[in-house]
Amino acid sequence: MPQLNDPAALESAVRQTVAGTTVSDIHTHLFPPSHGKLLLWGIDELLVFHYLVSELFTVAPRGLTYKKFWSLSKAAQADLVWEHLFVRHGPLSESTRGVLTTLEKLGLDSGQRDLSGYRRWFAAQKLQDYLPKVMKLANMDYLIMTNNPFVAEEAGYWKAGLPVQAYLKTALRIDTLIVNWPAAAKAMKASGYKTTPAGGAASFAQARKFLAEWVKILKPVYLAASLPPDFAYPSPAMSSKVMDQVVLPTAKQFGLPVAMMMGVRKAVNPALGDAGDGVGESDMTALQNLLVKHPDAKFIATLLSRVNQHELCVLARKFGHLHVEGCWWFTNMPSIIEEMTRMRIELLGTAFTAQHSDARVLEQVIYKWAHTRAILADILAEKYRDLFATGWRPTEAEIRRDVRALLGGSFEEFCKK
């Protein structure tokens, strides 16, 4: 294929490629339609998502208490979010803008401000047809869910063997095992495993059997854990024992990466429910020590605090069994996405995954990927112009290769190592 010898043609090729390349969304909280109400979708779910609920209480009148809000129906809660964040105040935040982008991409006129009309449109959708429509709008080939065997309701759906679309892949979530061993032991005991809150060799052996059973059921792409900023390794804490005697042996046995999402402070404002979590700077020596001690394991990491991003990239340069991915939660803002993506390209080339949606509501994949593509196109257009200035002339095939790497290809290569 010929090289691109004209700067304008080069930029056009980059932007078209970013817009047209299929995405693999490697971290979501979505579910198959067969799992009933666990799959969240529709305008009310978009509006009463925890991003917007916490934002609501930055502008809500004093008379709207947390208790009063949570006592309302989902529709009434959505009405309040719409009134205060979209009507009484400009929807300038990334979360509110995301709702409007979603409406526009679905063919709805956000300028009409017609919440009742949007509700009628969503109510008319048939989920079996609507899910692939959303996937197509976001230009995704597959997404990876987050599947928690320690939640009885969710475990019941999986054990029932209900149908799951091929483009919905799984991740086995193990947070509870690491950060709350007594609760995990109780859940495993209820499933017939001889585990105790005190742990010990026999209990850990049972936990490995439990995970092996769930690997067989789910066939996960990786093991996933959301960890607090004070997670330490090694340490005298139970979390270190569980990592060494349960998680890492299982990961190595089945060739599964351990995905660590680090930095969430749970329930800094408990009255906000799911919206009440905060962020903290993580001690990166925990991840570094894991990488040093376990060169035969694979690790995936994304950090919640902006402060940790540079150190994370440097670790990925030093350890080939670490894969950096996504702009998670509080870093999912255009200014920070741009900063993080530039830094990662400058340190790692294309050996990382630019983004994941972290979607808990189906339609969120639409706006998160639309916004990410726009940022990524600007960055790559600039980076290829820089290469052009050196005399380097990329081909369209090379651009397609690089863009696909950033949107899922590098992740797939990493998992095959």
Residue keyed to tokens 């042996």:
249
What is the mean predicted confidence (pLDDT) over 240-257?
Answer: 98
Q: What are the tens digits of pLDDT across the range 138-167?
A: 999 999 999 999 999 999 999 999 999 999
pLDDT of residue 169: 98
What is the mean predicted confidence (pLDDT) over 257-271?
Answer: 97
What is the mean predicted confidence (pLDDT) over 325-343?
Answer: 97
Residue 2: both structure tokens together: 């010929």
Residue 207: both structure tokens together: 């936990």
Confidence of residue 271 (pLDDT cuts 50, 70, 90): very high
Q: Which amino acid is at 29?
A: H
Does the pLDDT at position 203 exceed 90? yes
Q: Please state which of the ranges 1-5, 288-292, 395-399 shows the lowest mean pLDDT.
A: 1-5
What is the Cα–Cα distance from 390 to 370, expressed in whole angstroms? 31
Confidence of residue 176 (pLDDT cuts 50, 70, 90): very high
Confidence of residue 331 (pLDDT cuts 50, 70, 90): very high
Are 195 and 206 within 8 A, CB to CB? yes
Are 247 and 174 within 8 A, CB to CB? yes
pLDDT of residue 1: 64
Mean pLDDT of the chain: 97
Q: Which CATH number does the domain 7-39+134-416 belong to among 3.40.1080.20, 3.20.20.140, 1.10.1740.10, 3.40.800.20?
A: 3.20.20.140
Q: Which amino acid is at 304?
A: L
What is the Cα–Cα distance from 71 to 62, expressed in whole angstroms? 16
Are 207 and 193 within 8 A, CB to CB? yes
Length of the chain: 417
**Cα-Cα-Cα-Cα dihedral of 268, 273, 279, 280, to 10°?**
40
Q: What are the tens digits of pLDDT across the range 119-134?
A: 999 999 999 999 999 9
Radius of gyration, alpha carbons of the chain: 22
β-pair partners for 395:
3
Confidence of residue 380 (pLDDT cuts 50, 70, 90): very high
Does the pLDDT at position 343 exceed 90? yes
pLDDT of residue 2: 80
Q: What are the tens digits of pLDDT across the range 19-59?
A: 999 999 999 999 999 999 999 999 999 999 999 999 999 99
What is the mean predicted confidence (pLDDT) over 194-201?
Answer: 97
pLDDT of residue 101: 98
Q: Which of 390, 401, 388 is nearest to 5 (CA)?
A: 388
Does the pLDDT at position 82 exceed 70? yes
pLDDT of residue 305: 98
pLDDT of residue 4: 83
Q: What are the tens digits of pLDDT across the range 210-235?
A: 999 999 999 999 999 999 999 999 99
pLDDT of residue 3: 85
Q: In the chain, where are the structural domains located?
A: 7-39+134-416
